[in-house]
Amino acid sequence: MFRPVALIEQYAPLGLATCLPYVREIYDYLPHVQHLASLNRIPLSTRLGRKTFATLKIYQGIPKAQVMLATGHTTEKSFNRYLGIDEQELVQTARKTARRVA
């Protein structure tokens, strides 16, 4: 998926200390990463990464309170809206998991 050789070859003529150009803001950097990784379906953003992290951690069974601390959400309502997960869906998943564990 990620092509490090192409990345190094592209920026080698610039004589930079690293293989990537220096940018002040991450939003200036993410389009380069997206292009090199050939991600075309949706724009790459820090919010997308944060949302993916939170969703994966919830489905991996990490307690909601811990994930909320990591993402900086202060209320469950805003956290659930951010994830796009219905609370009933979470309850059903928890019940299914509890049956397997028991």
Whether 63 and 96 share a structural domain:
yes
21 pLDDT band (50/70/90 cuts)? Answer: low
**Residue 67 confidence class, pLDDT cut points 50, 70, 90:** very high
In a domain, 82, yes or no: yes
pLDDT, tens digit (0-9, with 9 covering 90-100), for 22-48: 677 877 878 877 887 788 888 888 778
| Rounded CA separation 52/98 (Å) | 24
Q: How far apart are CA 54 and CA 70, in angstroms?
A: 8
Into how many domains does the chain fold? 2
* pLDDT band, residue 99 (cuts 50/70/90): low
Question: Does residue 19 sit in the same domain as residue 54?
Answer: no
Q: Is the pLDDT of residue 61 over 80?
A: yes
Instruction: State which H helix or E strand residue 13 sits in.
Output: none
- Are 59 and 83 members of one domain? yes
One-letter-per-residue 3-state SS of 14-52? HCCCCCCCCCCCHHHHHHHHHHHCCCCCCCCCHHHHHHH
Q: Is the confidence at residue 66, as pLDDT, over 90?
A: yes
pTM: 0.52
State how far the alpha carbon of 14 is from the alpha carbons of 22, 62, 69, in Å. Answer: 11, 44, 41
Number of H helices, E strands in the chain: 6, 0
Determine the structural domain holding residue 78 and report its residue range. 46-101
